[in-house]
Amino acid sequence: MIATALCLPLIVALNGHAPRGNRLANLPADLPVAPVQANELAGRLLSRARDDGLINGCLMIHITGMDGADLRARQRDLRERLALRVRSVVRQSDMVFWMGQDVLTVLLSPQARLTSDAALSLSRRVQAAIEEPVLLDEFSRSFSGAIGIALSTELPLTAGGVDLLHQATRNQKEASRNGRSSVRIGIASHPVQITETTEISITEASDALENGQIVPWFQPQLSTETGDVSGAEALARWVHPKRGLIAPSQFLPLLDMGGATERLGEVILSHSLAAMNQWSEQGLLIPGLSVNMSDAELRNPKLASRILWELDRQNISANRLRIEVLETVVSDGSNPACARNINTLSDAGCRIDLDDFGTGSASIAALQRLNISCLKIDRSFVCHLDRDENQRRLVAAILSMAERLGLETVAEGVESAGEHTLLAQLGCHHVQGFGIARPMPPDQIPDWIRHHQQKIDRPVWPRRNVG
What is the pLDDT at residue 334?
A: 54
What is the pLDDT at residue 67?
A: 67
pLDDT in 10s for each residue of the chain, 467 residues: 333 333 434 333 444 433 333 344 456 777 788 888 888 899 999 989 888 888 999 999 998 877 665 566 677 888 888 999 999 889 888 999 998 778 999 999 998 878 887 888 888 889 888 888 777 666 667 788 889 999 988 888 788 888 899 989 988 888 887 767 788 886 543 333 333 334 577 888 889 999 999 999 999 999 999 999 999 999 999 988 877 778 787 788 788 878 888 999 999 999 999 999 999 999 888 899 999 998 888 889 999 999 999 999 999 999 999 999 876 666 655 568 888 899 999 999 999 998 877 655 556 666 777 788 999 988 878 877 887 888 888 899 999 999 998 999 999 988 888 889 999 999 999 999 888 888 899 999 999 998 888 887 654 444 444 44
Radius of gyration of the chain (CA): 25
Give, in degrees to the nearest 5, the angle at Cα 198 between 193 and 203. Answer: 90
What is the pLDDT at residue 258?
A: 81
First to last CA, the chain: 83
Q: What are phi and psi of 288, to 5 degrees?
A: -150, 145
3-state helix, strand, coil in the chain (%, to 5): 45, 20, 35
What is the pLDDT at residue 70?
A: 58
What is the pLDDT at residue 449?
A: 92
Residues contacting residue 11 through CB under 8 Å, at least 6 positions apart? none
Burial class (CB in 10 A: 0-12, 13-18, 19+), 409: buried
Of 359, 362, 375, which is closest to residue 428 (Cα–Cα)?
375
Handedness of CA 302, 308, 313, 316 (dihedral sign): positive
- Cα-based distances in Å from 13 to 5, 95, 393: 14, 9, 44
Distance (Å, whole) CA 152 – CA 50:
9
Helix (H, G, I), strand (E, B) or coil at 168: helix
- Cα-based distances in Å from 440 to 90, 216, 456: 33, 9, 21
